[in-house]
Each structure stands twice: as structure tokens, then as C-alpha cells.
Amino acid sequence: MNDFTFSIPQKVIVGKGSLEKVGQISINLNGKHAFIISGPNLEKMGVVSKVARILYEVSIEVDFFTDIEANPSVTTVDKATRAFIESGADYIVALGGGSPLDVAKAVAVVAKYGGSITDYEGAHRVPGKVVPMIAIPTTAGTGSEVTAFSVITDHIRDYKLTVFSYELIPDYAILDPELIMTSPASVAAACGIDAFIHAEESYISRDASPFTEAMSEKAMELIGRSIRQFVANRENEAAAEDMLLGSLFAGIAFSWARLGNVHAMSHPVSAYFDVPHGVANGILLPTIAKYNSTSDEGKYLKIYNYISVEPVTKERFKPEMLADAFRKLNAELGIPANLASVGVKEEYIKAMAEDAMKSGNIMANPRKTEYEDIVELYKDAM
Ligand SMILES: [Zn+2]
């Protein structure tokens, strides 16, 4: 067993209708003027104004910024930071999927300490406390509401940079299953498989501990039993609850155990070809599962049984079977089978492999991985 430490340095509020508590929570946080960071669709759907209304009721002033794209850029963070400072707001309400939450965390750093988010790239470079934040996820999910990461795309380098600091963990997370019940099937599939991969990669990570393994296993159980039903029908309340909680537990797990080759390799795919994060991960998953199968020490059987409709016994199981189970799951969820079909070009593989090797997740992957291995893995996933 590795030595380990953990903390969950925030309050997490879970339940149907819990969005209504954002007013009281803002008061607890001593907030007087909220800055809502969200996405354009949520603004159109009236979710942003709903949150604003709840805040007005407790006499909190509200401004918002919703001009956020998928795979959000350094420029977007700069714009949002300027808007935050000009508004005079004293805390942030991050409302949305991974992109608004990543931007909100970056704004919370840059608004406090200045410069550009690129100055804080890497591990533990945020000097101290950031602007207070309440995170409200509307997808299940990135787990970003509880993680210590913000991932931002730097278009100058075609590179997805990661800021990793425990200061980035939002003060409060509100998990209201009603908020994820309006997501389109394709978003539910991409975010759902991403959440599952957070659980899976943290589970087999070299940095896993008994604490993170417990979180990962519960996440795989919840997501495994509900992902198909949720993608088929987002209004299925029990499935929505499972997905949101699964995403939460997976987020806590990977904040402490990190991830692996799937995430190391998916970030360059998204940076070069603007493929949604969950889709890139889903496509890479079977290839990496096959690669890591030679390092399996018994965890693959459990993962297989969490995700499969028909469980198998230890006697009938071989680690290689997991990659096939993932391929089957991708097909059921409508995730493409290979990188070529989402526009990835063979001639970019070397550049992508170089970028993948810069990720801290390579070190956490259960099987030792060199640059040449990554090149082969990308080729295999094409
Ligand atoms: Zn992810």
C-alpha cells in the first residue's frame, strides 16, 4: 500500500431541488455580489436567470459571463477575468459542464494574483486562497466541482495546459440532479464515459490509495449500472442521480490518485482537433485498456463486472476481455470507434505524443510508458 493523505475541503450539497439553496449558501460565504460563469446554452435555456433570481431574492447583486466555448481558451479566461474585475463581484458561481467550471477556476486565480493563467501552469503554483467559488455542475460529468484541476487550451501552442492546485477546489458544490436531466444524449454519453474513465483510471493508478479506491469503486458501480439508461432517457431520475453521484465520487478519487494514459493522450487530441474531451477519452479507452492489461493485478475483473450487463466469474475472465467490453459500451453509447473518424490526422501523431508525455498522468499510469509507446497507442487508436 502507498502512504496516503486526503481531505475533502469543501461542503457538498446533494439533492433534487438543491439549486434553491444557492442563496443561503452565498450568504454563508459572505457573498454580496455574485459573478455567474456559465455557458451560452444555459443562458438560452434560462438556467442562468433562474440562479440570478434566487440570488436577487436574498439581495445579492448579480453579473454574469457566458461567452464560453468547448475546450475554453486562455483568451476566454482573460475576457472573463476582465469582466469579473470590472463587475466588482466578490465571489463566483460556476454553473455548467466542464468548460465553465474550468474557466471559473482560472478566473478565481488570475483575478486574485494577476498575470495570465499560463503563469500558474503545472502543479502547486497557485500562491494561496483564490476568489471564493460555488460550483454547480449541469453535466455528469467532469467532477470538476470537486477537483483541484483547471484545463485550459493555449491556442498559441495548440496545447491543453493543466493548473493543479488544491486551492482550486470550490468552497461549495451543489449537485441537483434536475440540472442534468435536460442534457442532450450525445453530451450525456460523452460526459458519462468521461466520468467512468475518471473512476477507472484513478482505480488502477499507481497513486491509488484505499481511500481513492473506495471512491473509484462506488463511482464505477453507480455509473456502470446507470449510464445506458441515462443516455437513453435523461429524464430517468434514478439514473440521473447515479450519474451525478458517480461523477462526484470519481472526481474526488482522481483529485488524489490522478489519472493515466487515456487522459494524457486525449488532451492533445482535443487541443489539435477540437474533439470534445469525453469523446476523445472514450475512443482511446479500449486501446489503453489493452495496453495496461499486462500490468493488471486483479482490478480488471472488478471493472469488467461494474460495466458489463452480464458479470463473469474469476475463472472465466482474462484481462484482455476488458478492452472488448469498452468497445461494446462505446458502440452502445454512440461514441465513435476510432480517432480517424473524428478528424485526427496521422501526421500529427508525433507532435501529439510529445505533448502527451508532458502530462503528469503518464507517471500515474499502471504500465510504464515511453514516447514510443504513445506513438504506437495513437496509431492503434486511429
Ligand atoms: Zn476527463
Q: How far is the CA of 195 from the centre of ligand 1 (A)?
A: 7
Question: According to the model, what pLDDT value does residue 71 have?
Answer: 87
Q: How far is the CA of 297 from the centre of ligand 1 (A)?
A: 24
Q: Which residues contact 328 (CB under 8 A, 6 or more apart)?
A: none
Same domain (yes/no): 207, 140:
no
Question: According to the model, what pLDDT value does residue 352 have?
Answer: 95
Q: How far is the CA of 365 from the centre of ligand 1 (A)?
A: 15
Share of the chain above pLDDT 70, in %: 100
Same domain (yes/no): 129, 149:
yes
Question: pLDDT tens for residues 253-295?
Answer: 999 999 999 999 999 999 899 899 999 999 999 999 999 999 9
What CATH number is associated with residue 144? 3.40.50.1970
Same domain (yes/no): 142, 260:
no
Same domain (yes/no): 345, 238:
yes
Same domain (yes/no): 159, 57:
yes
**How much is the mean pLDDT over the chain?**
95
Q: How far is the CA of 13 from the centre of ligand 1 (A)?
A: 22
Q: How far is the CA of 57 from the centre of ligand 1 (A)?
A: 36
Same domain (yes/no): 168, 190:
no
Query: Are the C-beta atoms of residues 102 and 151 closer than 8 Å to each other?
Result: yes
Q: How far is the CA of 249 from the centre of ligand 1 (A)?
A: 13
**Distance from C-alpha of 269 to C-alpha of 71, rounded to nearest angstrom:** 11
Q: Is residue 4 part of a domain?
A: no
What CATH number is associated with residue 242? 1.20.1090.10
- Domain span at residue 219? 185-381
* Domain's final residue, options 148, 180, 212: 180
Query: Are the C-beta atoms of residues 111 and 78 closer than 8 Å to each other?
Result: no
Query: Are the C-beta atoms of residues 235 and 181 closer than 8 Å to each other?
Result: yes
Q: How far is the CA of 263 from the centre of ligand 1 (A)?
A: 6
Question: According to the model, what pLDDT value does residue 182 have?
Answer: 87
Q: How far is the CA of 43 from the centre of ligand 1 (A)?
A: 24
Same domain (yes/no): 166, 209:
no
Same domain (yes/no): 108, 210:
no
Question: According to the model, what pLDDT value does residue 294 have?
Answer: 94
Average pLDDT of span 70-91: 96
Question: According to the model, what pLDDT value does residue 212 have?
Answer: 95
**Distance from C-alpha of 350 to C-alpha of 352, rounded to nearest angstrom:** 5
Q: Is residue 236 part of a domain?
A: yes
**Distance from C-alpha of 202 to C-alpha of 303, rounded to nearest angstrom:** 12
* Domain's final residue, options 125, 145, 180: 180
Same domain (yes/no): 132, 206:
no
Q: Which residues contact 9 (CB under 8 A, 6 or more apart)?
A: 166, 169
* Domain's final residue, options 180, 196, 217: 180
Q: How far is the CA of 81 from the centre of ligand 1 (A)?
A: 24
Side-chain-side CA neighbours of 329 within 13 Å: the count stands at 34
11 DSSP β-pair partners: 172
Q: Is residue 1 part of a domain?
A: no
**Count of structural domains, the chain:** 2
Average pLDDT of span 162-180: 95
Q: How far is the CA of 194 from the centre of ligand 1 (A)?
A: 5
Same domain (yes/no): 301, 374:
yes
Q: Is residue 3 part of a domain?
A: no
Same domain (yes/no): 176, 192:
no
Q: Is the pLDDT of residue 28 over 80?
A: yes
CB-based burial, 229-249: b 16+ in 10 Å, e otherwise: ebbeebebeebbbbbbbbbbb
Question: pLDDT tens for residues 324-345?
Answer: 999 999 999 999 999 999 999 9
Same domain (yes/no): 144, 261:
no
